[in-house]
Amino acid sequence: MNLYVYCEGQTEFRFIKDVLYPYLLNSGVYAIPLVCTTKRTKTEKFKGGVSDYFKIKYELSVLCKQHKNEIITTMFDYYGFPSNTPGFKDASGSLYKKVIHIEKAIDADIGMPNLFFNLIVHEFEGLLFADTSAFKTIADDDVVTQLQSVRADFESPEYINNSSDTAPSRRIKTLIPNYAKVLDGANLSARIGINAMLVECRHFSEWVQKICSL
């Protein structure tokens, strides 16, 4: 079965291709990453990043119609997702309840039966805190210890804060100024492996389990 994963940028593209694809292949699922198109002109498409929900809605609607006999899902960061997204204003309860509420609101708004929307909590870099020892490849022991301390402060990597100062990516960049999101993010995720992420990150795990059960 082909599964199209509409994602936010090149980091997620690499993760889907290098980490998620081989794992899902064991369940007979072929994960095909597609980077979102944020702007179109007559001659060119611009990819990566999310600035407006309605652009995402349009692109997903087109994609679902083009592949009406196949499944479409997504990999977008909850942190920084557009405020005009359905479900954002009335989401309440625990972190996971809020995220699930938003995902369901988006599915209902787009109204395509072959789509189930997924958000990464809070962002892709949160998954890297599933095993901070992997950072030894790009940082010294002191930095790795500080990253481990951050992880220890939270019940799950998915709980690491959702703000411009405390988001997972900001914490990594503060400790590792030369951190390269696409290259290092992809390499670290491959080193960590999906199994550690499935154990540490509940919402991510539920998404992968849902895919495998299709």
pLDDT tens digit string along 38-95? Answer: 544 333 344 445 779 999 999 999 999 999 999 999 999 999 899 899 999 999 999 9
Residues 36 and 115 in one domain: yes
Q: What is the pLDDT of residue 165?
A: 87
Residues 86, 103 contacting (CB under 8 angstroms): no
Residues 137 and 46 in one domain: no
Predicted structure pTM score = 0.92
Domain of residue 28, residue span: 2-122+196-212
Residues 39 and 21 in one domain: yes
pLDDT band at 208 (very low <50, low <70, confident <90, very high): very high
Residues 97 and 188 in one domain: no
Residues 104 and 27 in one domain: yes
Residues 96 and 137 in one domain: no
**Average pLDDT over every residue of 203-212:** 98
- In whole numbers, what is the pLDDT of the chain averaged over residues? 93
Q: List phi, psi (to 5°) of 202.
A: -60, -50
Number of domains in the chain: 2
Residues 105 and 166 in one domain: no
- Position 14 pLDDT exceeds 90: yes
| DSSP track, 138-193 | TS-HHHHHHHHHHHHTSSSGGGS--STTTSHHHHHHHH-TT--HHHHHHHHHHHH-
Among residues of the chain, what percentage have pLDDT more than 90? 88
Indicate the residue type of 138. I
The better pLDDT of the pair 163, 143 is held by 143
Separation CA 123–CA 108 (nearest Å): 23
Residues 110 and 15 in one domain: yes
Q: What is the pLDDT of residue 42?
A: 37
Residues 14 and 73 in one domain: yes
- Position 106 pLDDT exceeds 90: yes
Separation CA 5–CA 119 (nearest Å): 12
Residue 187 CA: distances (Å) to CA of 59, 103, 136, 183? 29, 28, 12, 6
Residues 32 and 114 in one domain: yes
Residues 167, 122 contacting (CB under 8 angstroms): yes
Residues 76 and 117 in one domain: yes
pLDDT band at 157 (very low <50, low <70, confident <90, very high): very high
Residues 180 and 159 in one domain: yes
Separation CA 90–CA 101 (nearest Å): 9
**Average pLDDT over every residue of 172-181:** 96
